[in-house]
Structure 1
Amino acid sequence: MRIFKTILDFYIESSLHVALAVYALIRITFFKLNIPYDEPVAYFGFYGTIVGYNFIKYDELARVKKIVLTLKFKYIIALSVFSFFASIFYFFQLFFLTQLIGVLVLLITVLYTLPLFPKMDNMRNWSGIKIYLVAIAWVGVTVVLPVVNGEIDFTFQIAFKCFQRFLFVFILMLLFEIIDLQFDAVPLKTIPQRMGVQKTKISSYLLIVFFLLLEFLIPNFNSIQFVISFLVSLLLLFFTFYANSNRDKYYTSLWVESVPFFWLVLLLFFG
Protein backbone atom coordinates (compact mmCIF):
# COMPACT_ATOMS: atom_id res chain seq x y z
CA MET A 1 0.00 0.00 0.00
CA ARG A 2 2.86 2.34 0.82
CA ILE A 3 4.49 1.64 -2.56
CA PHE A 4 1.19 2.40 -4.33
CA LYS A 5 0.89 5.72 -2.46
CA THR A 6 4.48 6.61 -3.37
CA ILE A 7 3.80 5.92 -7.04
CA LEU A 8 0.52 7.84 -6.91
CA ASP A 9 2.16 10.85 -5.26
CA PHE A 10 4.90 10.88 -7.90
CA TYR A 11 2.26 10.60 -10.65
CA ILE A 12 0.46 13.67 -9.28
CA GLU A 13 3.44 15.77 -8.14
CA SER A 14 5.33 15.24 -11.40
CA SER A 15 2.32 16.74 -13.27
CA LEU A 16 1.75 13.55 -15.26
CA HIS A 17 -1.91 13.50 -14.26
CA VAL A 18 -2.62 17.11 -15.28
CA ALA A 19 -0.70 16.54 -18.52
CA LEU A 20 -2.90 13.56 -19.33
CA ALA A 21 -5.96 15.74 -18.59
CA VAL A 22 -4.70 18.27 -21.15
CA TYR A 23 -4.06 15.45 -23.62
CA ALA A 24 -7.63 14.20 -23.06
CA LEU A 25 -9.08 17.68 -23.73
CA ILE A 26 -7.05 17.95 -26.94
CA ARG A 27 -8.45 14.58 -28.05
CA ILE A 28 -11.95 15.83 -27.17
CA THR A 29 -11.36 18.84 -29.46
CA PHE A 30 -10.33 16.51 -32.29
CA PHE A 31 -13.48 14.50 -31.74
CA LYS A 32 -15.90 17.41 -31.34
CA LEU A 33 -14.62 19.33 -34.37
CA ASN A 34 -13.93 16.30 -36.58
CA ILE A 35 -10.22 17.06 -36.77
CA PRO A 36 -8.01 14.08 -37.71
CA TYR A 37 -5.74 12.92 -34.90
CA ASP A 38 -2.67 15.19 -34.89
CA GLU A 39 0.19 13.57 -32.96
CA PRO A 40 2.52 16.62 -32.80
CA VAL A 41 -0.24 18.79 -31.27
CA ALA A 42 -1.36 16.09 -28.83
CA TYR A 43 2.13 15.29 -27.58
CA PHE A 44 3.32 18.89 -27.60
CA GLY A 45 0.39 19.65 -25.30
CA PHE A 46 1.17 16.66 -23.10
CA TYR A 47 4.92 17.19 -22.69
CA GLY A 48 4.63 20.98 -22.64
CA THR A 49 2.18 20.74 -19.75
CA ILE A 50 4.63 18.67 -17.70
CA VAL A 51 7.36 21.26 -18.29
CA GLY A 52 5.10 24.26 -17.67
CA TYR A 53 3.39 22.95 -14.55
CA ASN A 54 6.60 21.69 -12.95
CA PHE A 55 8.21 25.05 -13.69
CA ILE A 56 5.29 26.83 -12.02
CA LYS A 57 5.22 24.49 -9.01
CA TYR A 58 8.92 24.18 -8.27
CA ASP A 59 10.67 27.27 -9.65
CA GLU A 60 9.85 29.56 -6.74
CA LEU A 61 10.60 26.84 -4.18
CA ALA A 62 13.96 26.18 -5.84
CA ARG A 63 14.87 29.87 -5.85
CA VAL A 64 14.23 30.22 -2.11
CA LYS A 65 15.98 26.87 -1.53
CA LYS A 66 12.97 25.16 0.07
CA ILE A 67 13.35 21.98 -1.99
CA VAL A 68 15.38 19.04 -0.72
CA LEU A 69 16.83 16.92 -3.52
CA THR A 70 15.13 13.68 -2.55
CA LEU A 71 15.09 10.72 -4.91
CA LYS A 72 11.49 11.56 -5.89
CA PHE A 73 12.40 15.12 -6.76
CA LYS A 74 15.38 13.94 -8.82
CA TYR A 75 12.97 11.75 -10.81
CA ILE A 76 10.70 14.76 -11.30
CA ILE A 77 13.65 16.78 -12.61
CA ALA A 78 14.61 13.93 -14.96
CA LEU A 79 11.03 13.66 -16.25
CA SER A 80 10.86 17.43 -16.73
CA VAL A 81 14.13 17.50 -18.69
CA PHE A 82 12.97 14.61 -20.90
CA SER A 83 9.60 16.33 -21.41
CA PHE A 84 11.35 19.59 -22.32
CA PHE A 85 13.29 17.96 -25.17
CA ALA A 86 10.21 15.96 -26.23
CA SER A 87 8.11 19.16 -26.38
CA ILE A 88 10.85 20.84 -28.46
CA PHE A 89 10.85 17.85 -30.82
CA TYR A 90 7.09 18.09 -31.38
CA PHE A 91 7.17 21.91 -31.43
CA PHE A 92 9.23 21.87 -34.62
CA GLN A 93 6.66 19.60 -36.26
CA LEU A 94 3.93 22.21 -35.84
CA PHE A 95 2.99 24.84 -38.41
CA PHE A 96 4.53 28.27 -37.91
CA LEU A 97 1.31 29.94 -36.70
CA THR A 98 0.75 27.10 -34.24
CA GLN A 99 4.29 27.61 -32.95
CA LEU A 100 3.56 31.31 -32.37
CA ILE A 101 0.49 30.44 -30.30
CA GLY A 102 2.55 27.86 -28.37
CA VAL A 103 5.14 30.55 -27.61
CA LEU A 104 2.37 32.89 -26.44
CA VAL A 105 1.07 30.25 -24.02
CA LEU A 106 4.66 29.70 -22.83
CA LEU A 107 4.98 33.45 -22.25
CA ILE A 108 1.85 33.42 -20.09
CA THR A 109 3.33 30.51 -18.10
CA VAL A 110 6.65 32.33 -17.58
CA LEU A 111 4.97 35.59 -16.55
CA TYR A 112 2.71 33.61 -14.23
CA THR A 113 5.80 32.49 -12.33
CA LEU A 114 8.45 35.18 -12.86
CA PRO A 115 7.94 38.93 -12.32
CA LEU A 116 7.83 41.02 -15.50
CA PHE A 117 9.89 43.77 -13.87
CA PRO A 118 12.07 43.91 -10.74
CA LYS A 119 10.16 44.76 -7.56
CA MET A 120 6.93 43.67 -9.27
CA ASP A 121 4.93 40.58 -8.33
CA ASN A 122 4.46 37.77 -10.84
CA MET A 123 0.97 37.38 -12.31
CA ARG A 124 0.22 34.51 -9.91
CA ASN A 125 0.08 37.11 -7.13
CA TRP A 126 -2.05 39.62 -9.01
CA SER A 127 -5.31 39.69 -7.11
CA GLY A 128 -8.14 37.79 -8.78
CA ILE A 129 -6.35 37.08 -12.07
CA LYS A 130 -4.96 33.56 -11.56
CA ILE A 131 -8.12 31.65 -12.46
CA TYR A 132 -8.59 33.57 -15.73
CA LEU A 133 -4.96 33.12 -16.80
CA VAL A 134 -5.11 29.36 -16.29
CA ALA A 135 -8.41 29.05 -18.15
CA ILE A 136 -7.11 31.10 -21.11
CA ALA A 137 -3.90 29.05 -21.28
CA TRP A 138 -5.87 25.77 -21.26
CA VAL A 139 -8.16 27.04 -24.05
CA GLY A 140 -5.09 28.03 -26.06
CA VAL A 141 -3.50 24.60 -25.75
CA THR A 142 -6.57 22.35 -25.91
CA VAL A 143 -8.68 24.16 -28.54
CA VAL A 144 -6.76 26.84 -30.43
CA LEU A 145 -3.61 24.75 -31.11
CA PRO A 146 -5.53 21.78 -32.60
CA VAL A 147 -7.69 24.10 -34.72
CA VAL A 148 -4.81 26.21 -36.06
CA ASN A 149 -2.55 23.24 -36.78
CA GLY A 150 -5.49 21.46 -38.43
CA GLU A 151 -5.85 24.52 -40.71
CA ILE A 152 -9.49 24.88 -39.71
CA ASP A 153 -11.16 28.23 -40.40
CA PHE A 154 -11.89 30.17 -37.22
CA THR A 155 -15.68 30.16 -37.42
CA PHE A 156 -18.42 30.96 -34.90
CA GLN A 157 -18.45 27.26 -33.97
CA ILE A 158 -14.73 27.42 -33.05
CA ALA A 159 -15.23 30.59 -31.01
CA PHE A 160 -18.16 28.89 -29.34
CA LYS A 161 -16.00 25.86 -28.46
CA CYS A 162 -13.32 28.16 -27.02
CA PHE A 163 -15.92 29.82 -24.78
CA GLN A 164 -17.38 26.48 -23.68
CA ARG A 165 -13.91 25.10 -22.90
CA PHE A 166 -13.11 28.27 -20.96
CA LEU A 167 -16.23 27.68 -18.86
CA PHE A 168 -15.27 24.05 -18.25
CA VAL A 169 -11.76 24.92 -17.04
CA PHE A 170 -13.09 27.88 -15.03
CA ILE A 171 -15.48 25.54 -13.18
CA LEU A 172 -12.62 23.16 -12.41
CA MET A 173 -10.50 26.06 -11.16
CA LEU A 174 -13.29 27.21 -8.85
CA LEU A 175 -13.11 23.77 -7.24
CA PHE A 176 -9.37 24.19 -6.71
CA GLU A 177 -9.88 27.64 -5.18
CA ILE A 178 -12.47 26.26 -2.73
CA ILE A 179 -10.14 23.42 -1.68
CA ASP A 180 -7.12 25.77 -1.40
CA LEU A 181 -9.00 28.42 0.57
CA GLN A 182 -7.10 27.66 3.77
CA PHE A 183 -3.72 28.01 2.02
CA ASP A 184 -4.24 30.98 -0.33
CA ALA A 185 -2.91 34.30 0.89
CA VAL A 186 -5.60 36.93 1.50
CA PRO A 187 -4.14 39.44 -1.04
CA LEU A 188 -4.80 36.92 -3.85
CA LYS A 189 -8.50 37.74 -3.57
CA THR A 190 -9.66 34.46 -5.04
CA ILE A 191 -13.36 34.10 -5.81
CA PRO A 192 -14.12 32.06 -2.62
CA GLN A 193 -12.22 34.65 -0.57
CA ARG A 194 -14.35 37.46 -2.01
CA MET A 195 -17.72 35.71 -2.26
CA GLY A 196 -17.51 32.96 0.34
CA VAL A 197 -17.71 29.23 -0.31
CA GLN A 198 -21.49 28.92 -0.58
CA LYS A 199 -21.91 31.80 -3.04
CA THR A 200 -19.00 30.43 -5.07
CA LYS A 201 -20.71 27.04 -5.21
CA ILE A 202 -23.99 28.61 -6.32
CA SER A 203 -22.11 30.49 -9.05
CA SER A 204 -20.46 27.24 -10.08
CA TYR A 205 -23.82 25.43 -10.25
CA LEU A 206 -25.15 28.15 -12.55
CA LEU A 207 -22.04 27.97 -14.76
CA ILE A 208 -22.38 24.18 -15.01
CA VAL A 209 -26.01 24.52 -16.12
CA PHE A 210 -24.95 27.19 -18.63
CA PHE A 211 -22.13 24.92 -19.88
CA LEU A 212 -24.70 22.18 -20.54
CA LEU A 213 -27.30 24.44 -22.13
CA LEU A 214 -24.68 25.67 -24.61
CA GLU A 215 -24.87 22.20 -26.21
CA PHE A 216 -28.24 23.22 -27.67
CA LEU A 217 -26.55 26.01 -29.62
CA ILE A 218 -24.10 23.71 -31.37
CA PRO A 219 -24.80 23.34 -35.11
CA ASN A 220 -26.00 19.81 -35.99
CA PHE A 221 -27.15 19.09 -32.44
CA ASN A 222 -26.22 15.54 -31.40
CA SER A 223 -28.44 13.95 -28.74
CA ILE A 224 -25.81 11.36 -27.74
CA GLN A 225 -23.16 14.03 -27.20
CA PHE A 226 -25.70 16.05 -25.21
CA VAL A 227 -26.25 13.05 -22.90
CA ILE A 228 -22.48 12.72 -22.52
CA SER A 229 -22.18 16.43 -21.66
CA PHE A 230 -25.06 15.96 -19.20
CA LEU A 231 -23.15 13.17 -17.42
CA VAL A 232 -20.00 15.32 -17.32
CA SER A 233 -22.07 18.17 -15.86
CA LEU A 234 -23.49 15.85 -13.20
CA LEU A 235 -19.95 14.87 -12.22
CA LEU A 236 -18.96 18.55 -11.96
CA LEU A 237 -22.03 19.20 -9.80
CA PHE A 238 -21.12 16.27 -7.55
CA PHE A 239 -17.54 17.46 -7.03
CA THR A 240 -18.70 21.03 -6.42
CA PHE A 241 -21.32 20.00 -3.88
CA TYR A 242 -18.81 18.03 -1.79
CA ALA A 243 -15.93 20.50 -2.14
CA ASN A 244 -14.63 22.15 1.02
CA SER A 245 -11.30 23.37 2.37
CA ASN A 246 -10.87 20.22 4.49
CA ARG A 247 -10.60 17.87 1.51
CA ASP A 248 -7.22 16.23 0.96
CA LYS A 249 -5.00 16.91 -2.05
CA TYR A 250 -6.32 13.86 -3.92
CA TYR A 251 -9.81 15.37 -4.18
CA THR A 252 -8.79 17.91 -6.79
CA SER A 253 -5.34 16.79 -7.93
CA LEU A 254 -6.56 13.26 -8.71
CA TRP A 255 -10.36 12.99 -8.88
CA VAL A 256 -11.40 16.43 -10.16
CA GLU A 257 -8.64 16.41 -12.77
CA SER A 258 -9.94 13.01 -13.93
CA VAL A 259 -13.12 14.58 -15.35
CA PRO A 260 -11.52 15.11 -18.82
CA PHE A 261 -10.65 11.37 -18.94
CA PHE A 262 -14.23 10.48 -18.09
CA TRP A 263 -15.47 12.85 -20.81
CA LEU A 264 -13.06 11.43 -23.42
CA VAL A 265 -13.88 7.80 -22.60
CA LEU A 266 -17.61 8.48 -22.98
CA LEU A 267 -17.03 10.17 -26.33
CA LEU A 268 -14.82 7.35 -27.61
CA PHE A 269 -17.31 4.65 -26.65
CA PHE A 270 -20.64 6.34 -27.26
CA GLY A 271 -20.04 9.57 -29.18
Structure 2
Amino acid sequence: MKTLKKIVNFYINGSIHVALSAYALTRLTGCLFEIEKINDVSLFAFFGTIVGYNFVKYDALARTKKLQMSLQLKAIAFLSFLSFVVSVYYYFQLQKNTQIIGFLFLVITMLYTLPFFPNKKNARNWAGIKIYIVALCWVGVTLFLPIINNHLPLTSYVFLVAAQRFILIFVLILIFEIIDLKLDDPHLKTVPQQIGVVKTKRVGVMLMIVFLLLEFLSTDFRIEFFALKSALAITTILFLLFSNENRSRYYASFWVESIPVFWWLVLVVLESF
Protein backbone atom coordinates (compact mmCIF):
# COMPACT_ATOMS: atom_id res chain seq x y z
CA MET A 1 0.00 0.00 0.00
CA LYS A 2 2.86 2.39 0.82
CA THR A 3 4.41 1.71 -2.58
CA LEU A 4 1.12 2.43 -4.33
CA LYS A 5 0.74 5.66 -2.37
CA LYS A 6 4.26 6.74 -3.38
CA ILE A 7 3.46 6.03 -7.02
CA VAL A 8 0.21 8.02 -6.83
CA ASN A 9 1.97 10.91 -5.08
CA PHE A 10 4.69 10.94 -7.74
CA TYR A 11 2.02 10.84 -10.45
CA ILE A 12 0.28 13.88 -8.93
CA ASN A 13 3.30 15.82 -7.60
CA GLY A 14 5.13 15.31 -10.87
CA SER A 15 2.21 17.02 -12.67
CA ILE A 16 1.54 13.97 -14.84
CA HIS A 17 -2.17 13.99 -13.99
CA VAL A 18 -2.69 17.68 -14.74
CA ALA A 19 -0.73 17.16 -17.96
CA LEU A 20 -3.15 14.37 -18.86
CA SER A 21 -5.98 16.89 -18.43
CA ALA A 22 -4.23 19.28 -20.84
CA TYR A 23 -3.73 16.41 -23.28
CA ALA A 24 -7.42 15.46 -23.00
CA LEU A 25 -8.63 19.01 -23.65
CA THR A 26 -6.34 19.32 -26.67
CA ARG A 27 -7.63 16.03 -28.06
CA LEU A 28 -11.13 17.28 -27.31
CA THR A 29 -10.43 20.25 -29.55
CA GLY A 30 -9.47 17.75 -32.25
CA CYS A 31 -12.83 16.01 -31.84
CA LEU A 32 -14.87 19.23 -31.85
CA PHE A 33 -13.19 20.68 -34.94
CA GLU A 34 -12.51 17.37 -36.72
CA ILE A 35 -8.74 17.89 -36.68
CA GLU A 36 -6.87 14.81 -37.84
CA LYS A 37 -3.32 16.09 -37.26
CA ILE A 38 -3.65 16.62 -33.52
CA ASN A 39 -0.96 14.28 -32.19
CA ASP A 40 2.01 16.70 -32.22
CA VAL A 41 0.09 19.52 -30.51
CA SER A 42 -1.42 17.13 -27.94
CA LEU A 43 1.93 15.68 -26.95
CA PHE A 44 3.48 19.16 -26.87
CA ALA A 45 0.67 20.20 -24.50
CA PHE A 46 1.19 17.10 -22.36
CA PHE A 47 4.97 17.33 -21.90
CA GLY A 48 4.95 21.13 -21.87
CA THR A 49 2.42 21.08 -19.02
CA ILE A 50 4.67 18.80 -16.97
CA VAL A 51 7.59 21.17 -17.48
CA GLY A 52 5.56 24.33 -16.87
CA TYR A 53 3.74 23.15 -13.77
CA ASN A 54 6.82 21.63 -12.15
CA PHE A 55 8.78 24.78 -12.91
CA VAL A 56 6.09 26.94 -11.32
CA LYS A 57 5.72 24.66 -8.27
CA TYR A 58 9.37 24.04 -7.46
CA ASP A 59 11.41 26.88 -8.95
CA ALA A 60 10.82 29.46 -6.21
CA LEU A 61 11.57 26.91 -3.48
CA ALA A 62 14.73 25.78 -5.27
CA ARG A 63 15.99 29.35 -5.73
CA THR A 64 15.43 30.20 -2.05
CA LYS A 65 17.05 26.87 -1.09
CA LYS A 66 13.98 25.84 0.90
CA LEU A 67 13.63 22.67 -1.13
CA GLN A 68 15.35 19.54 0.12
CA MET A 69 16.03 17.11 -2.71
CA SER A 70 14.30 13.95 -1.58
CA LEU A 71 14.29 10.88 -3.80
CA GLN A 72 10.85 11.82 -5.14
CA LEU A 73 11.93 15.37 -5.96
CA LYS A 74 15.00 14.05 -7.76
CA ALA A 75 12.71 11.78 -9.77
CA ILE A 76 10.42 14.75 -10.53
CA ALA A 77 13.44 16.81 -11.63
CA PHE A 78 14.52 13.98 -13.94
CA LEU A 79 10.97 13.64 -15.28
CA SER A 80 10.83 17.39 -15.91
CA PHE A 81 14.14 17.29 -17.78
CA LEU A 82 12.99 14.43 -20.00
CA SER A 83 9.66 16.17 -20.57
CA PHE A 84 11.49 19.36 -21.52
CA VAL A 85 13.54 17.49 -24.14
CA VAL A 86 10.44 15.81 -25.57
CA SER A 87 8.41 19.04 -25.54
CA VAL A 88 11.20 20.81 -27.45
CA TYR A 89 11.10 18.03 -30.04
CA TYR A 90 7.33 18.37 -30.51
CA TYR A 91 7.63 22.16 -30.47
CA PHE A 92 9.69 21.99 -33.65
CA GLN A 93 7.10 19.70 -35.23
CA LEU A 94 4.57 22.53 -35.06
CA GLN A 95 3.88 25.11 -37.73
CA LYS A 96 5.82 28.40 -37.51
CA ASN A 97 2.76 30.42 -36.45
CA THR A 98 2.00 27.86 -33.76
CA GLN A 99 5.58 28.02 -32.52
CA ILE A 100 5.27 31.79 -32.10
CA ILE A 101 2.04 31.46 -30.11
CA GLY A 102 3.56 28.65 -28.05
CA PHE A 103 6.56 30.84 -27.28
CA LEU A 104 4.26 33.62 -26.09
CA PHE A 105 2.66 31.26 -23.60
CA LEU A 106 6.14 30.27 -22.44
CA VAL A 107 6.84 33.96 -21.77
CA ILE A 108 3.60 34.19 -19.78
CA THR A 109 4.65 31.14 -17.73
CA MET A 110 8.05 32.70 -17.06
CA LEU A 111 6.40 35.99 -16.08
CA TYR A 112 4.10 34.00 -13.80
CA THR A 113 7.11 32.51 -11.99
CA LEU A 114 10.18 34.73 -12.22
CA PRO A 115 10.55 38.31 -10.89
CA PHE A 116 11.91 40.12 -13.97
CA PHE A 117 12.25 43.48 -12.29
CA PRO A 118 14.29 44.25 -9.16
CA ASN A 119 12.32 44.26 -5.91
CA LYS A 120 9.15 43.23 -7.76
CA LYS A 121 7.07 40.13 -7.21
CA ASN A 122 6.33 37.70 -9.99
CA ALA A 123 2.93 37.59 -11.65
CA ARG A 124 1.92 34.66 -9.45
CA ASN A 125 1.86 37.05 -6.50
CA TRP A 126 0.04 39.88 -8.23
CA ALA A 127 -3.13 40.20 -6.24
CA GLY A 128 -6.06 38.39 -7.83
CA ILE A 129 -4.48 37.83 -11.24
CA LYS A 130 -3.30 34.21 -10.90
CA ILE A 131 -6.60 32.58 -11.83
CA TYR A 132 -6.91 34.61 -15.06
CA ILE A 133 -3.36 33.86 -16.21
CA VAL A 134 -3.76 30.13 -15.65
CA ALA A 135 -7.16 29.98 -17.40
CA LEU A 136 -5.84 32.04 -20.32
CA CYS A 137 -2.84 29.74 -20.78
CA TRP A 138 -5.02 26.63 -20.72
CA VAL A 139 -7.38 28.03 -23.35
CA GLY A 140 -4.47 29.14 -25.51
CA VAL A 141 -2.57 25.85 -25.41
CA THR A 142 -5.49 23.39 -25.58
CA LEU A 143 -7.68 25.29 -28.04
CA PHE A 144 -5.92 27.95 -30.08
CA LEU A 145 -2.66 26.07 -30.66
CA PRO A 146 -4.33 23.13 -32.47
CA ILE A 147 -6.64 25.52 -34.34
CA ILE A 148 -3.76 27.69 -35.56
CA ASN A 149 -1.49 24.71 -36.23
CA ASN A 150 -4.07 23.32 -38.66
CA HIS A 151 -4.76 26.69 -40.34
CA LEU A 152 -8.42 26.66 -39.34
CA PRO A 153 -10.30 29.99 -39.44
CA LEU A 154 -10.98 31.74 -36.15
CA THR A 155 -14.75 31.61 -36.47
CA SER A 156 -17.33 32.72 -33.94
CA TYR A 157 -17.67 29.06 -32.88
CA VAL A 158 -13.97 28.96 -31.96
CA PHE A 159 -14.42 31.95 -29.65
CA LEU A 160 -17.61 30.41 -28.25
CA VAL A 161 -15.66 27.27 -27.31
CA ALA A 162 -12.87 29.49 -25.95
CA ALA A 163 -15.34 31.28 -23.67
CA GLN A 164 -16.77 27.97 -22.44
CA ARG A 165 -13.34 26.50 -21.82
CA PHE A 166 -12.17 29.61 -19.99
CA ILE A 167 -15.23 29.38 -17.73
CA LEU A 168 -14.66 25.67 -17.08
CA ILE A 169 -10.99 26.14 -16.18
CA PHE A 170 -11.85 29.20 -14.07
CA VAL A 171 -14.41 27.23 -12.02
CA LEU A 172 -12.06 24.25 -11.63
CA ILE A 173 -9.43 26.63 -10.24
CA LEU A 174 -12.02 28.04 -7.84
CA ILE A 175 -12.30 24.55 -6.34
CA PHE A 176 -8.53 24.49 -5.80
CA GLU A 177 -8.62 27.95 -4.23
CA ILE A 178 -11.33 26.89 -1.79
CA ILE A 179 -9.41 23.78 -0.74
CA ASP A 180 -6.12 25.74 -0.45
CA LEU A 181 -7.71 28.60 1.49
CA LYS A 182 -5.82 27.78 4.69
CA LEU A 183 -2.50 27.43 2.88
CA ASP A 184 -2.55 30.36 0.44
CA ASP A 185 -0.74 33.57 1.29
CA PRO A 186 -3.41 36.16 2.23
CA HIS A 187 -1.71 38.65 -0.10
CA LEU A 188 -2.59 36.48 -3.11
CA LYS A 189 -6.19 37.71 -2.83
CA THR A 190 -7.71 34.61 -4.36
CA VAL A 191 -11.44 34.68 -5.04
CA PRO A 192 -12.40 32.85 -1.79
CA GLN A 193 -10.11 35.17 0.18
CA GLN A 194 -11.82 38.23 -1.25
CA ILE A 195 -15.51 37.23 -1.24
CA GLY A 196 -15.66 34.14 0.97
CA VAL A 197 -16.34 30.48 0.22
CA VAL A 198 -20.14 30.73 -0.02
CA LYS A 199 -20.09 33.58 -2.55
CA THR A 200 -17.29 31.86 -4.48
CA LYS A 201 -19.50 28.79 -4.88
CA ARG A 202 -22.38 30.98 -6.05
CA VAL A 203 -20.14 32.63 -8.63
CA GLY A 204 -18.96 29.22 -9.81
CA VAL A 205 -22.52 27.91 -10.18
CA MET A 206 -23.61 31.01 -12.12
CA LEU A 207 -20.60 30.69 -14.41
CA MET A 208 -21.42 27.06 -15.17
CA ILE A 209 -24.98 28.10 -16.04
CA VAL A 210 -23.51 30.66 -18.45
CA PHE A 211 -21.27 27.85 -19.75
CA LEU A 212 -24.38 25.91 -20.72
CA LEU A 213 -26.35 28.88 -22.06
CA LEU A 214 -23.50 29.74 -24.42
CA GLU A 215 -24.12 26.42 -26.17
CA PHE A 216 -27.39 27.79 -27.54
CA LEU A 217 -25.39 30.41 -29.46
CA SER A 218 -23.65 27.71 -31.46
CA THR A 219 -24.46 27.67 -35.18
CA ASP A 220 -24.04 23.90 -35.06
CA PHE A 221 -26.16 23.08 -32.01
CA ARG A 222 -26.29 19.34 -31.37
CA ILE A 223 -28.42 17.83 -28.64
CA GLU A 224 -25.85 15.13 -27.83
CA PHE A 225 -23.14 17.77 -27.26
CA PHE A 226 -25.51 19.78 -25.07
CA ALA A 227 -26.36 16.67 -23.03
CA LEU A 228 -22.67 15.91 -22.58
CA LYS A 229 -21.87 19.47 -21.54
CA SER A 230 -24.85 19.44 -19.16
CA ALA A 231 -23.43 16.35 -17.46
CA LEU A 232 -20.03 18.07 -17.34
CA ALA A 233 -21.54 21.21 -15.81
CA ILE A 234 -23.50 19.26 -13.19
CA THR A 235 -20.42 17.22 -12.23
CA THR A 236 -18.30 20.36 -11.91
CA ILE A 237 -20.98 22.12 -9.85
CA LEU A 238 -21.21 19.15 -7.47
CA PHE A 239 -17.45 19.10 -6.97
CA LEU A 240 -17.60 22.86 -6.34
CA LEU A 241 -20.45 22.67 -3.84
CA PHE A 242 -18.85 19.85 -1.85
CA SER A 243 -15.41 21.48 -1.77
CA ASN A 244 -14.08 22.86 1.52
CA GLU A 245 -10.82 23.60 3.29
CA ASN A 246 -10.72 20.17 4.95
CA ARG A 247 -10.94 18.12 1.78
CA SER A 248 -8.14 15.68 0.97
CA ARG A 249 -5.51 16.92 -1.48
CA TYR A 250 -6.62 14.14 -3.83
CA TYR A 251 -10.09 15.69 -4.07
CA ALA A 252 -8.83 18.46 -6.34
CA SER A 253 -5.45 17.17 -7.51
CA PHE A 254 -6.87 13.89 -8.77
CA TRP A 255 -10.67 13.89 -9.03
CA VAL A 256 -11.29 17.49 -10.09
CA GLU A 257 -8.44 17.38 -12.59
CA SER A 258 -9.96 14.18 -14.00
CA ILE A 259 -13.07 16.01 -15.23
CA PRO A 260 -11.55 17.05 -18.61
CA VAL A 261 -10.22 13.52 -19.08
CA PHE A 262 -13.62 11.91 -18.52
CA TRP A 263 -15.22 14.53 -20.79
CA TRP A 264 -12.86 13.63 -23.64
CA LEU A 265 -13.20 9.86 -23.10
CA VAL A 266 -17.01 10.02 -23.13
CA LEU A 267 -16.93 12.08 -26.34
CA VAL A 268 -14.58 9.55 -27.95
CA VAL A 269 -16.91 6.69 -26.98
CA LEU A 270 -19.97 8.55 -28.31
CA GLU A 271 -18.28 9.31 -31.61
CA SER A 272 -17.24 5.66 -32.04
CA PHE A 273 -20.90 4.62 -32.46
Q: TM-score, normalised by structure 1?
A: 0.98
Deviations 1:163-217 (A, max 9, x none): 1111110011111111111111111111111110000001101111111121121
Structure 2 equivalent of residue 193 of structure 1? 193
Distance between the aligned counterparts of 2:253 and 2:208, measured in 1?
Answer: 20
CA displacement at 1:63 relative to structure 2: 0.8
**Within 5 Å, which residues of 2 pair with 1:117-156?**
117-156=117-156
Contact 1:27-1:37 within 8 A present in 2 as well? no
Gaps of at least 5 residues in structure 2 are none
Contact 1:128-1:188 within 8 A present in 2 as well? yes
Structure 1 equivalent of residue 100 of structure 2? 100
Aligned residue type for 2:147: V
Distance between the aligned counterparts of 2:252 and 2:72, measured in 1?
Answer: 21
Structure 2 equivalent of residue 62 of structure 1? 62
Aligned residue type for 1:89: Y
CA displacement at 1:246 relative to structure 2: 0.9
Distance between the aligned counterparts of 1:69 and 1:130, measured in 2?
Answer: 27
Aligned residue type for 1:10: F
Aligned residue type for 1:194: Q
Distance between the aligned counterparts of 1:130 and 1:13, measured in 2?
Answer: 20
Bigger shift: residues 158-167 or 85-94: 158-167
Question: Residue 263 of structure 2: SS of its match in structure 1?
Answer: helix
CA displacement at 1:234 relative to structure 2: 1.1
Distance between the aligned counterparts of 1:213 and 1:262, measured in 2?
Answer: 21
Gaps of at least 5 residues in structure 1 are none
Deviations 1:206-241 (A, max 9, x none): 111111121121122111111111111111011011
**Within 5 Å, which residues of 2 pair with 1:18-167?**
18-167=18-167
Distance between the aligned counterparts of 1:216 and 1:33, measured in 2?
Answer: 18
Structure 1 equivalent of residue 263 of structure 2? 263
Contact 2:102-2:141 within 8 A present in 1 as well? yes
Aligned residue type for 1:228: L
Question: Residue 181 of structure 2: SS of its match in structure 1?
Answer: helix
Deviations 1:130-169 (A, max 9, x none): 0000000001100010000011011111111111111110
Structure 1 equivalent of residue 230 of structure 2? 230
Q: TM-score, normalised by structure 2?
A: 0.97
Distance between the aligned counterparts of 1:14 and 1:28, measured in 2?
Answer: 23
Aligned residue type for 1:204: G
Structure 2 equivalent of residue 253 of structure 1? 253
Contact 1:128-1:189 within 8 A present in 2 as well? yes
Contact 1:215-1:221 within 8 A present in 2 as well? yes
Percent of residue pairs identical: 48
Aligned residue type for 1:207: L
Contact 2:37-2:150 within 8 A present in 1 as well? no
In the TM superposition, structure 1's runs of 4+ consecutive aligned residues that sit over 3 Å from their partners are none
Distance between the aligned counterparts of 2:53 and 2:137, measured in 1?
Answer: 12
Deviations 1:70-108 (A, max 9, x none): 211111111111000100100111011100110011011
CA displacement at 1:37 relative to structure 2: 3.8
Distance between the aligned counterparts of 2:149 and 2:179, measured in 1?
Answer: 36
CA displacement at 1:116 relative to structure 2: 2.1
Aligned residue type for 1:108: I
Contact 2:30-2:36 within 8 A present in 1 as well? yes
Distance between the aligned counterparts of 2:48 and 2:264, measured in 1?
Answer: 20
Contact 2:48-2:84 within 8 A present in 1 as well? yes
Aligned length: 271
